């Protein structure tokens, strides 16, 4: 077992047997670094390709920026009318109350911003963000992201949710978080009480990339959330040498569903700086999704999604099964199908 203290410095990663101190410190000069004890405890120290370590332990390849990579890969900045708001689609928007996380994924698409000097929105900035939402009656859904919104203390989380719940046109509030997996002790009765709404419906999207992340403490936290009536979605990023095999994805999505998480999105990795060593070509991702079609039921199937660089939104990029009157079954068999569906 590792120390119960979050690892942030090279000497701490070295003492835990996870990385050379110098490598961690060099990467930390540019990008935020943190790994919780729960995740550090899951690393198999005798496996140099451990998928948990690969996601959270700094790597010098992060300091190499490919020509196609961008500081703002999905174009958040162009759609931010006020600080803390990204309004890309008419009926929904992102609210980022803070830019800190319990852990920092080495492939994060906001890695140029998270964990730095830009902390939580202050009172005036949060008021301005809420006023923007109040003024835009077309906004049906507010997605609270970050950073990790469940880093907020329960009283602040409750106050934020109450403010959104009081806006009549906001029907859905969706939280995106790694905390149930990365720091499950934060999912305590006080936090669950803070997540209860009077009117709107709350959904929680849990970021998880490998079945081993669903440790006993994580499962307990997820059961507490679903037991409180909070529906859970699963967000996964397709990552080289983490989950880029059919068997690994199958195990992950089965584990999610067994723990009351509906796999929602399998993300093609965004073009964030220093992430080329994680990138899986789209064609490989499509082949994986085709193989999964016959191996797991529909409830285990996420949508394979690409967030178009430059802020043009998300689109599904899964394999096509019907083209020019020929439909392919899950085993690769080809069958005629009338163009008009008659």
92 has catalytic annotation: yes
101 has catalytic annotation: yes
What is the per-residue pLDDT across 103-126, written as a single tens digit (0 to 9) for each?
Answer: 999 999 999 889 877 778 999 999
What is the per-residue pLDDT across 55-90, written as a single tens digit (0 to 9) for each?
Answer: 999 999 999 999 999 999 998 999 999 999 999 999
Q: How far apart are CA 300 and CA 188, in angstroms?
A: 28
Q: How far apart are CA 285 and CA 246, in angstroms?
A: 10
- Does the predicted TM-score (pTM) go above 0.85? yes
Domain extents in the chain = 1-63, 67-336
Catalytic residue chosen out of the listed positions 30, 92, 134, 295: 92
89 has catalytic annotation: yes
Q: According to the model, what pLDDT value does residue 89 have? A: 96
Contacts of 209 (CB under 8 A, 6+ apart): 51, 55, 236, 237, 239, 242, 243, 252
What is the per-residue pLDDT across 291-331, written as a single tens digit (0 to 9) for each?
Answer: 999 999 999 999 999 999 989 999 999 998 998 889 988 88
Catalytic residue chosen out of the listed positions 31, 72, 88, 212: 88
Residue 189 has which token pair?
A: 């009765």
The answer, yes or no, to whether residue 2 has pLDDT greater than 70, is no
Mean pLDDT for 273-295 is 96
Q: What is the CATH number of domain 67-336?
A: 3.20.20.70
- C-beta separation of 91 from 141 below 8 A: yes
Catalytic residue chosen out of the listed positions 54, 106, 110, 111: 110
The answer, yes or no, to whether residue 1 has pLDDT greater than 60, is no
Which position has the higher pLDDT, 244 or 114? 244
Sheet holding 303-308, edge to edge: 85-89, 92-95, 141-144, 172-177, 201-207, 232-237, 261-267, 303-308, 313-316
Q: According to the model, what pLDDT value does residue 131 have? A: 98
What is the per-residue pLDDT across 197-238, written as a single tens digit (0 to 9) for each?
Answer: 999 999 999 999 999 999 999 999 999 999 999 999 999 999
Catalytic residue chosen out of the listed positions 54, 72, 105, 148: 105
Assign 342 a pLDDT band (cuts: 50, 70, 90): low
Q: According to the model, what pLDDT value does residue 226 have? A: 98
What is the per-residue pLDDT across 141-164, written as a single tens digit (0 to 9) for each?
Answer: 999 998 999 999 999 999 999 999
List the one residue out of 331, 311, 328 whose CA is nearest residue 319: 328
25 has catalytic annotation: no
Catalytic residue chosen out of the listed positions 50, 54, 101, 300: 101
Catalytic residue chosen out of the listed positions 89, 134, 165, 196: 89
Q: According to the model, what pLDDT value does residue 113 have? A: 86
88 has catalytic annotation: yes
Catalytic residue chosen out of the listed positions 31, 50, 54, 108: 108
Q: According to the model, what pLDDT value does residue 339 have? A: 79
Q: How far apart are CA 229 and CA 218, in angstroms?
A: 17
Mean pLDDT for 258-281 is 97
For the chain, the average pLDDT equals 95
Catalytic residue chosen out of the listed positions 54, 264, 270, 304: 270
Q: To the nearest 5 percent, what fractions of the chain are helix, strand and coil?
A: 35, 20, 50
Residue 10 has which token pair?
A: 């090279």
The answer, yes or no, to whether residue 3 has pLDDT greater than 90, is no
108 has catalytic annotation: yes
């Amino acid at each position: 077992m590792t120390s119960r203290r979050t690892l942030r410095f090279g000497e701490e990663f070295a003492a835990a047997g996870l990385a050379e101190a110098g490598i961690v410190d060099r990467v930390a000069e540019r990008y935020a670094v943190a790994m919780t004890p729960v995740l550090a405890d899951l690393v198999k120290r005798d496996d140099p390709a451990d998928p948990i370590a690969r996601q959270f332990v700094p790597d010098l390849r992060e300091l190499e920026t490919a020509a196609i990579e961008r500081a703002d890969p999905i174009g958040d900045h162009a759609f931010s009318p006020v600080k803390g708001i990204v309004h890309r689609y008419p009926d929904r928007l992102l609210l980022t109350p803070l830019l800190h996380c319990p852990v920092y994924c080495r492939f994060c698409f906001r890695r140029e911003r998270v964990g730095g000097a830009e902390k939580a929105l202050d009172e005036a900035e949060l008021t301005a963000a809420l006023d923007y939402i109040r003024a835009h009656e077309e906004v049906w859904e507010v997605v609270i992201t970050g950073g990790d919104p469940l880093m907020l203390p329960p009283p602040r989380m409750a106050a934020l949710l109450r403010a959104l719940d009081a806006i009549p046109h906001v029907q859905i509030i969706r939280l995106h978080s790694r905390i149930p997996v990365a720091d499950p002790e934060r999912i305590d009765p006080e936090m669950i009480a803070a997540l209860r709404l009077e009117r709107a419906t709350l959904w929680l999207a849990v970021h998880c990339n490998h079945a081993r992340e669903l440790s006993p403490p994580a499962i307990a936290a997820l059961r507490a959330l679903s037991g409180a009536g909070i529906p859970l979605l699963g967000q996964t990023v397709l990552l080289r040498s983490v989950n880029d095999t059919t068997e690994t994805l199958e195990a992950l999505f089965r584990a999610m569903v067994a723990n009351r998480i509906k796999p929602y999105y399998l993300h093609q990795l965004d073009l964030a700086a220093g992430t080329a060593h994680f990138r899986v070509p789209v064609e490989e991702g499509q082949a994986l999704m085709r193989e999964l079609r016959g191996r797991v039921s529909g409830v285990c199937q996420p949508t394979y999604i690409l967030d178009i660089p430059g802020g043009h939104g998300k689109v599904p990029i899964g394999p096509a099964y019907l083209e020019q009157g020929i439909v392919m079954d899950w085993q690769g068999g080809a069958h005629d199908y009338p163009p008009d569906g008659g």
